Amino acid sequence: MNATNGWSLPDSWFEVLDWAIKNCRTQSLNAILDLHEYDAMGTEPEANHNKFLAFWRQLSAHCANQPSSVVFEILNEPSRKLNPELWNEYLRQALGLIRAENPTRTVIAGPGFWNSINHLQELQLLEADQNLIVTVHYYAPMDFTHQGAAWANRKDKVGVDWLGTENEINAIAADFDKAVNWAKAHNRPAFLGEFGAYDKAPMESRARYTSAVARAAEQWGWSWAYWQFDSDFILYDIGHDNWVEPIRRALVPEGELSPKRAQNDLPGRSAF
């Protein structure tokens, strides 16, 4: 996408998108089409404003005839220079473009500061639009979930356990209570759009933490998506064509053959 071609998305890009959506539908999977350009938008929101809106104008028109199982997420983790005030403005503008072609499609949006629960109070959603779901991401405590991660300034901080103590469980509950209270006050279903622990963390602790967060979300009827399917928060080892079993079992406990459907009618569980 660039200014010389009017920010047009290439046909080849739409071909891949349509292939992905078709295969999701074939497998009875809901698809969340999430604009993941959070780095560009956070670094230079004003310079990318026109491109951002052009993207949603085109995607909204292209997907207008898709079934309700195709959901839009306006932007992953708005942050940095895309502050809450500016993000609320951009969100309203993008949603207006989406509603022109998709008046009742489910749309997901979250607060600023990387979809932080602690910044939900700054998120402004149109009360009249009842086809909106709020998303939050959860990686607390970061010293555990991001240990060994150079991009999080924790390259040399490793060996941190998460034991599932009463205090640790209560910390999750206290954080989630903030989101629950906000969602109830604003009559919005909630979606835990990301959670997980980096693969440098001890495996037993990763599994213990993953299970605790997933069960806490399910307690409130939230849909959730684990981060991530492959790569460094790994759930599936593509190279060896195998699940990382401790994480799989933490997400879907033994005896549960299929994911539960949560109250807001998004997939009860998924992984990006």
In this model, does residue 200 exceed pLDDT 80?
yes
Bridge partners, residue 109, by sequence:
134
Confidence of residue 260 (pLDDT cuts 50, 70, 90): low
Residues 214 and 94 in one domain: no
CA dihedral 225, 103, 134, 76 (to 10 degrees): 60
Residues 132 and 155 in one domain: no
| Mean of all residue pLDDT scores within the chain | 94
Q: What is the pLDDT of residues 100-119, one digit of tens each?
A: 999 999 999 999 999 999 99
In this model, does residue 53 exceed pLDDT 70?
yes
Quote the domain boundaries for residue 212.
139-272
Q: Residue 196 sits in a domain of what CATH number?
A: 3.20.20.80
Q: Cis (ω within 30 of 0) for the bond into 219?
A: no
Contact at 8 Å (CB) between 210 and 247? yes
Q: Give the chain's domain count.
A: 2
Contact at 8 Å (CB) between 208 and 172? no
Confidence of residue 270 (pLDDT cuts 50, 70, 90): low
Residues 106 and 185 in one domain: no
Over residues 134-154, the mean pLDDT reads 96
Strand ranges for 196-260 from DSSP E = 223-226, 236-237, 242-243
Q: What is the largest CA-CA distance in the chain?
A: 58
Domain boundary among 109, 137, 165: 137
Over residues 44-51, the mean pLDDT reads 97
Over residues 28-57, the mean pLDDT reads 97
pTM: 0.92
Over residues 197-208, the mean pLDDT reads 97
Residues 132 and 151 in one domain: no
Length of the chain in terms of residues written = 272
Residues 267 and 157 in one domain: yes
